[in-house]
Structure 1
């Protein structure tokens, strides 16, 4: 079964106010159907449903329809986890632009002129800390003492709940990883703290140490890679978080850890994942069957309707002139040209080496001008058709607005490119020969098995890897982090259209490498301090 949760999952909220990081964003019950904790956990399957609630926060925003949110005072569209993550990691870069700048927060993000009052920062900060709150509450309610007091004695159930607890700890670690990456700090709260506790501020070093220790502690007790129910995490997913931390450790804590990254990647790559024979099958309505998917954010047009990243991207990909929505599995007009490509991304596919590259085929120039001199002009700039609400066999999803396409948070291709980067950066345990093999596997997949676009070790430079990551992983939530790691995000060594609010791009200051702590969050938690430059 693709989806492990339904809209009723937020019974986890019970009658409690599970506070995230700001008082006005408490996770509160929305109706009279919310039970007390003891009543809820006395029901058959309660722990499975509670577990689904922690996972569900990554896809859903509230207990009702796609427009509802259990975060008070925050719109569902600016607080959906995957959508906010995509906005922050991609809309702030050279890959994409959003046409409707009246939508709260988007103008400032894509022009890199944001402030601490941007609602998307508040949405991401609050949704992520809500994940921490939900995880903490599950851990409080599933201790051996709690289970004993409720008469839970079945050995199989006890074993399952023990596994659930390890998975929830990974989900909490993922949330803190996002906070470390995006904001550089976070209020730190665990299940050992009381409800409504205003956690102390942890900096990147403290968060890095905590996440590293937490993941290493739980990995042995997680299910082996590719053995868990789809939608639930396993050892490989936890190792990918560690690998990402180690890959970016020089940014996060000032200490390179590329060798440690390779050690995690070797475990993931050796776990039985394989590349999908068709690149685009990673982005279809049935992409949950892709053999390279390590972990994804679930979406379902019927069961888990949400305004998440794939719903936004697929509807937004529909061109203003092309009206190509039917081919993408949504309404013909979609969202009327909401998303377009910045010139610098398109140019990464220039040259004979990409003449037959399938990844390039998703870029649709038509009669369009590559330049975007007026963001409001939806006819300017090329469009993309990478994601589809259509299965690999051509069957459209059941809903023409809310899509069935899952968002690939981690997939094998990323692990290959991470390994290649570590090899170039001199990591022990990684060889350039193996790195070339991994990159060429992606090149051959993109060229229908043809090796004409393959590279040699001499081609494997850091600049090549940064561009190849964009060619392979565009619109998958990696670009901002990659540009920062390669020292291309701030400053003026690499500019793109509308960077710094200049039509051709201008230099931006180094403080923008981390986002500001939302004003409301600081007001509610006196332990939090603002990042420099804001």
Structure 2
């Protein structure tokens, strides 16, 4: 021992200094992966879409396209019916879940930006982290208006100042315009489900599309210009040709299955049940014995399509095939009419069901592996049509609306489209994809009465800041009306 080696210095080959690590291609992807994990999410209201009780449900069930009624057998909580009836409260779990998810995602994005900038990582990777952060802030100010704002994780919750909706809007636009051109132009492969240049410009177009709601000043020309950049990405409308292998008989529904087609999908959310997120929307809609007979596991007997929404579809519309009603396997017979959402509630088999996301890939009673289309080219086509119409050039909008209609098996319009035509077409094409609340607010229909409630007050166009957030940060001011 007296003659043993005294030089105990060690060269470590499997560890990096943080800056060295995040500066490598592999390390920068690790930093970004932590942020993208927030997009996929899972149970407990975490994530953009896929599971339940989070952002998707909050923004979809307050519109006119879907709702989960309380059943007169005692099934399902009242939260979803209260959303549809515009009776939500600041203490509601879906509101709190959405708020908490978005701020958790922003924290992750801030961290990724810091790690990548400190490491002097590739410019495209830093830009990707900043665009992701802008995406989350866009969703946050769209739902809540004036919100706590921070870009560095160096403050406690009680110290974060509240920024106005317009200030957050300006930040989002600034971050996007400064970074989208630095994003990769690659499509598919390692960029499937990631913000490339085309997804970045689509996000910018969505922000401009709703600018008048956020700031009082419209940005139709800017929205149109952003959409025209996306055109350079080589996207097209996916085929709707007959397809006997597809459960709904048309290739159109490949847009909502497992592995979304790259010709139309601009940004998809990856899902693989019990591994990464899940897609519950088909199985959640079906009555238990019906799903058991078709898929071998019970459905949740949850989401229905309100009759007023379903009835607007033309019988020849390929998109109408997603709706399930009448006699079905398993001794099921869905009625199109629902008489009550909450007191006493709907009968077990009341309500049209939706199989737009026909369960695909690995599946079980907890959901399936359908990926989710966050952005697709049909939305770009309809955004361009709306911008042209709002700028007084409905003739330029017509071939765009007609392209969506003819893909759906319908005839072209007889005349130039009105804004109402475009609004309806957006509903027909994009239902259950998370866009309807925004569209209704922008077109001025969100507050109108429906079969289950009277007209709503103006303040309902924003959700309230959650009670828990107000309790945690005395700097915050609640939205008017709450």
TM bin, normalised by shorter chain, reads: 0.7 to 0.9
Q: Cα 1:437–1:524, aligned 2, differ >3 Å: closer, same or farther?
A: same
* Paired residues of 2:145 and 2:164 also in contact (CA < 8 A): yes
Q: Which residue of 2 aligns with 1:497?
A: 451
Deviation at 1:411? 0.6
* Paired residues of 1:187 and 1:198 also in contact (CA < 8 A): no
2:40 aligned counterpart, secondary structure: coil
1:294 aligned counterpart, secondary structure: strand
Separation in structure 2 between the aligned mates of residue 473 and residue 318 of structure 1, nearest angstrom? 20
Give matches, 1:320-335, under 5 Å: 323-324=290-291, 327=294, 330-335=295-300
Once the two structures are superposed, residues 117-167 of structure 1 have per-residue CA deviations (whole angstroms, 9 ceiling, x without a partner) of 0111111111001111001111222224x46xxxxxxxxxx43xx322211
Q: Cα 1:299–1:40, aligned 2, differ >3 Å: closer, same or farther?
A: farther
Give matches, 1:240-319, under 5 Å: 240-277=202-239, 278-287=251-260, 289-306=261-278, 310-311=279-280, 313-319=281-287
* Paired residues of 1:331 and 1:401 also in contact (CA < 8 A): no
1:140 to 84, 101, 114: 114
Q: Cα 1:402–1:371, aligned 2, differ >3 Å: closer, same or farther?
A: closer
* Paired residues of 1:302 and 1:399 also in contact (CA < 8 A): no
Deviation at 1:194? 4.6
The answer to whether the aligner puts 1:512 opposite 2:460 as a matched pair is: yes
Please provide the CA RMSD for this pair: 2.6
1:54 to 24, 31, 35: 35
1:531 to 465, 474, 479: 479
The answer to whether the aligner puts 1:338 opposite 2:281 as a matched pair is: no
* Paired residues of 2:22 and 2:116 also in contact (CA < 8 A): no
Q: Which residue of 2 aligns with 1:99?
A: 69
The answer to whether the aligner puts 1:77 opposite 2:35 as a matched pair is: no
**Unaligned segments of structure 2, at least 5 residues:** 1-14, 240-250, 327-332
Give the TM-score of the pair, scaled to structure 2: 0.84
Separation in structure 2 between the aligned mates of residue 194 and residue 212 of structure 1, nearest angstrom? 24
Separation in structure 1 between the aligned mates of residue 315 and residue 185 of structure 2, nearest angstrom? 40
Separation in structure 1 between the aligned mates of residue 157 and residue 338 of structure 2, nearest angstrom? 47
Deviation at 1:302? 4.7
1:410 aligned counterpart, secondary structure: strand
Q: Cα 1:508–1:123, aligned 2, differ >3 Å: closer, same or farther?
A: same
Q: Which residue of 1 aligns with 2:246?
A: none
1:274 aligned counterpart, secondary structure: coil
Q: Which residue of 2 aligns with 1:20?
A: none
* Paired residues of 1:94 and 1:497 also in contact (CA < 8 A): no
1:78 aligned counterpart, secondary structure: coil
Deviation at 1:197? 7.3
The answer to whether the aligner puts 1:131 opposite 2:95 as a matched pair is: no
Q: Which moved more, 1:436-445 or 1:475-484?
A: 436-445
Give matches, 1:138-287, under 5 Å: 138-144=112-118, 146=119, 158-159=121-122, 162-191=123-152, 193-194=154-155, 198-224=159-185, 226=187, 229-277=191-239, 278-287=251-260
* Paired residues of 2:158 and 2:473 also in contact (CA < 8 A): no
**Unaligned segments of structure 1, at least 5 residues:** 1-34, 62-75, 148-157, 391-395, 499-504
Deviation at 1:406? 1.2
Deviation at 1:196? 5.5
